[in-house]
Structure 1
Amino acid sequence: MKVFKFGGASTKDAAGVRNVAAVLKSCQEPDLLVVISAMGKMTNALEVVVRDHFDDKTDSEAAMASVYEYHFSILDQLFENRSHPIFKEIATMFDDMKRFLRTTKSKNHSFVYDQVVSYGELLSSTIVSIFLRENDISNTWLDVRDCIVTDSEYRDAKVDWDTTHTNIAATVSQKGITITQGFLGAEHKNSFTTTLGREGSDYTAAIFAYCLDADSVTIWKDVPGVLNADPRYFTETQLLEHISYREAIELAFYGASVIHPKTLQPLQRKEIPLYVRSFENPTATGTCVGKGVTLRPKIPCYILKKNQVLLSLSSLDFSFMMEDNIGDVFKWLHQYRMKVELIQNSAISFSVCVDNRFDRLEQLLTKLRSTFAVKWNEGVTLYTVRHASPTEIKTLMKGKEVLLKQESRETVQLIVKE
């Protein structure tokens, strides 16, 4: 059995859904588990619904209407007329979402977020599954929440691997094609929907592959494979034909956008190869992540993360920054859900670059100021470069204000103000 994952770019419109069917037909894999993400930018659109729910109920209804119209526009192009049962099924899902927002009394933003944003995957996977059946690709639709069990850390849930493994073994057929959702799980106590973190659909594919002892995982994207840099920010990018598990984990850890950081570890444990291929050119080989050479070709790899925050802390009484001080800092970083990207310390100062992904910087700063002298820069860019020469690093730094530089044998990190 193999696992395929199709992201939002592959199903962003009716032509994309038709292309998914074409890719499945061309691959001729009889036994597949297919993970489907929300269509296009629907996760972003549903985030607006959640935001407006807490800020302004009228705006929330308008945001919901936009999401509704987007999906029904795609349905109108995929199915002949609105008498098809899919229209009623999708409308019912929207009614359920509206009912939840109308009746919930929860003030927990993360809880409400997961219950609402999860509809992106539920809608897309339902549409894709039924369209495939209409086009002679028999399949079974599976609610991933019946399989993947997590804790209650909404928006960044941790997987209960033992229970999940048992559920998948009991639920998923090794024969035929199964369509399911990425990004989602259900918490163990009350079965409320949880999410695995943004871009978590790749991780979902790896979870199923591990539990099913799959032959491989293929992530279908709108790029030829894993490139040595993001083409949105760098020119003359090159395809990486082969990456070792270890190197890929390093790249993902530092923020390479093609592969989710959590995806690779379960695959490495069972030596399940991961392929990143183009749904626009499905006959091309793309990139293989697996055993073997570290990197082919051996060229510098550039990773860029924008809109980071650089915090610089020192003690108020000019004492040294010791383990107890730094321990408090990490406790608060965890408490306010900051993703740490880089740390650097000296005898009297401690610097940390964080991703303020849950918009809790002001709360963190208030806490830090009670103990430390605090300076910070918002909107900085973090560059991470692997396998680059000093000349290539110098070229990258040209014209940029470097706030912090950190270097190890294979990796250079730069925090810059551009």
Structure 2
Amino acid sequence: MKVFKFGGASVKDAQGVKNVATVLKKTGEQDLLVVISAMGKMTNQLEKVVDAYLSETESATASIHEFTTYHTDIMIALFENTKLPVFEEVSKIFNSLSTFLENNNSTNRPFVYDQVVGFGELVSTKIVSAYLSKIGVENTLLDVRTCIATDSNYRDAKVDWEATQQKISKKVSTKGITITQGFLGAEGANNFTTTLGREGSDYTAAIFAYCLNAEDVTIWKDVPGVLNADPRYFSKTTLLEQISYREAIELAFYGASVIHPKTLQPLQRKEIPLYVKSFLNPLDPGTCVGKGVTLHPMVSCFILKKNQVLISLSSLDFNFMMEDHIGNVFKWLHEYKMKVELIQNSAISFSVCIDNKYDMLEPLLNKLRSTFKVRWNENVTLYTIRHAEAKQVKALLKDKELLLKQESRGTVQLVVKE
């Protein structure tokens, strides 16, 4: 059995859904589990619903209308006949979203977020499954929430692997084509929907592959494979034909956007190859992540993260930055949900580059000021270069203000003001 994953860009419109069918036909796989993300930018659209709902503004209704209209237009283009059962089935999903918002009493943002944004995947998989059935591709639609068990850490839920393995073994057939949702799970106590973190659909594919002992996983994207740099920011890029698990995990850790950081660990444990291929050219080889050579071809890899925050701390009385001080800093970074991208310390100072993902910078700074002298820079850019050459670093720093540089074996990181 194999696992395919199609992201939002691959199903952003009716032509995208048709192309999924084309990929399935061209690859010719018979025993397949297919993970589908929300269509296009619909997760972002549902985030607008959450924001409007929690701020009690009337724009929530307008945002829901945009969500329903977007999918209805795609269905009309795919099916034409609005009397088909899929229209009523999708309408029921829309009604479930409205019913939740009408009856919900919780103001806990992460909880509300997970209950709302998951409707993107529920609608997309219903449409894709129905379209495949229409054109004669037999398939089974599976609610992923009956398979992936998690804790109740909403927006970044942790998988209960033992319970998940049992559920998948019981519910998922290794024969035929199964369609299911990415990104979602369900917590055990109350069966509420949870999410695995943004871009968690890649992780979903890896979870199923691990539990099903799949032959391989293919992530279908709008790029030819894993590139050595993001083409949005770098004019010249190189396709990486092969990457070892270790190198891919390093790239993912530093923020390479093609592969989700959590995706690789379960695949590596069972040595399941991961392919990244273009859904526009499905027969091209793409990139293979697996055992073997570190990187082929051996080129430098560039990873860029914008809108970061660099915080520099020093002791108020010139005491050393000892383990207890640093321990408190990490405790507060965790408390305020900051993702740490880089750290550097000296005898009396400590610098950390963070991703202010949940907009908690101001309360964090207030907490730090109680113990340290605090300086910070917002909207900085973090560059990470794997297998860097000196001339590349020099070229990258041209016309930029260097705030911090850290170099270790094989990796250079630069925090700059552009």
Q: Which residue of 2 aligns with 1:70?
A: 70
Secondary structure in 1 aligned to 2:106?
coil
Q: Which residue of 2 aligns with 1:316?
A: 316
CA distance in 1, matches of 2:64, 2:369: 40
* 1:245 partner letter: Y
Task: Let me know the Cα RMSD of the aligned residues.
Answer: 0.7
Q: Which residue of 1 aligns with 2:379?
A: 379
Deviation per CA, 1:142-165: give whole Å up to 9, x if none.
000101011111000111111101
CA distance in 1, matches of 2:314, 2:100: 47
Q: Which residue of 2 aligns with 1:341?
A: 341
Quote how far apart the aligned CAs of 1:80 are: 1.9
Quote how far apart the aligned CAs of 1:319 are: 1.1
Q: Which residue of 1 aligns with 2:397?
A: 397
* 2:44 partner letter: N
Q: Which residue of 2 aligns with 1:205?
A: 205
Identify the range of structure 1 (106-115 vs 309-318) with the bigger mean alpha-carbon deviation: 309-318
Gaps in structure 1 of 5+ consecutive residues: none
Q: Which residue of 1 aligns with 2:240?
A: 240
Q: Which residue of 2 aligns with 1:16?
A: 16
Q: Which residue of 2 aligns with 1:184?
A: 184
CA distance in 2, matches of 1:261, 1:226: 14
Quote how far apart the aligned CAs of 1:56 are: 3.2
Q: Which residue of 1 aligns with 2:363?
A: 363
What does 1:149-228 correspond to in 2, within 5 Å?
A: 149-228=149-228
CA distance in 2, matches of 1:140, 1:363: 48
* 1:223 partner letter: V
Q: Which residue of 2 aligns with 1:130?
A: 130
CA distance in 2, matches of 1:178, 1:199: 21
Say how many residue pairs are matched.
418
1:258 maps to 2:258? yes
Gaps in structure 2 of 5+ consecutive residues: none
* 2:120 partner letter: G
Q: Which residue of 2 aligns with 1:86?
A: 86
Q: Which residue of 2 aligns with 1:41?
A: 41
CA distance in 2, matches of 1:285, 1:39: 25
Quote how far apart the aligned CAs of 1:57 are: 3.2
Return structure 1 stretches of 4+ with deviation > 6 angstroms: none
Secondary structure in 1 aligned to 2:247?
helix
CA distance in 2, matches of 1:388, 1:412: 7
CA distance in 2, matches of 1:328, 1:183: 32
* 1:76 partner letter: I
Q: Which residue of 2 aligns with 1:230?
A: 230
Secondary structure in 2 aligned to 1:130?
helix
Q: Which residue of 2 aligns with 1:303?
A: 303
Q: Which residue of 1 aligns with 2:282?
A: 282
Deviation per CA, 1:33-78: give whole Å up to 9, x if none.
0000000011111101100111133111111111111111101100
TM-score, normalised on structure 1? 0.99
CA distance in 2, matches of 1:367, 1:202: 36
* 2:209 partner letter: A
CA distance in 1, matches of 2:290, 2:270: 10
Secondary structure in 2 aligned to 1:358?
coil
Quote how far apart the aligned CAs of 1:241 are: 0.2
Deviation per CA, 1:290-345: give whole Å up to 9, x if none.
01100000000000011111111112222111100110111111111111100000
Deviation per CA, 1:185-223: give whole Å up to 9, x if none.
001111110000000000000000000000000000000
Secondary structure in 2 aligned to 1:303?
strand
Identity, in percent, stands at: 70
Quote how far apart the aligned CAs of 1:370 are: 1.4
CA distance in 1, matches of 2:56, 2:193: 24
Identify the range of structure 1 (26-35 vs 55-64) with the bigger mean alpha-carbon deviation: 55-64
Secondary structure in 2 aligned to 1:57?
coil
Deviation per CA, 1:258-288: give whole Å up to 9, x if none.
0000000110111000000000001100000
Quote how far apart the aligned CAs of 1:233 are: 0.3
Quote how far apart the aligned CAs of 1:89 are: 1.1
CA distance in 2, matches of 1:264, 1:113: 26
Identify the range of structure 1 (215-224 vs 390-399) with the bigger mean alpha-carbon deviation: 390-399
CA distance in 2, matches of 1:307, 1:51: 21
* 1:241 partner letter: E
Secondary structure in 2 aligned to 1:330?
helix
Deviation per CA, 1:342-399: give whole Å up to 9, x if none.
0000111111111111111112112111111111111111000001111111111111
Deviation per CA, 1:103-155: give whole Å up to 9, x if none.
11111000000000011111101110111010111000000010101111100
TM-score, normalised on structure 2? 0.99
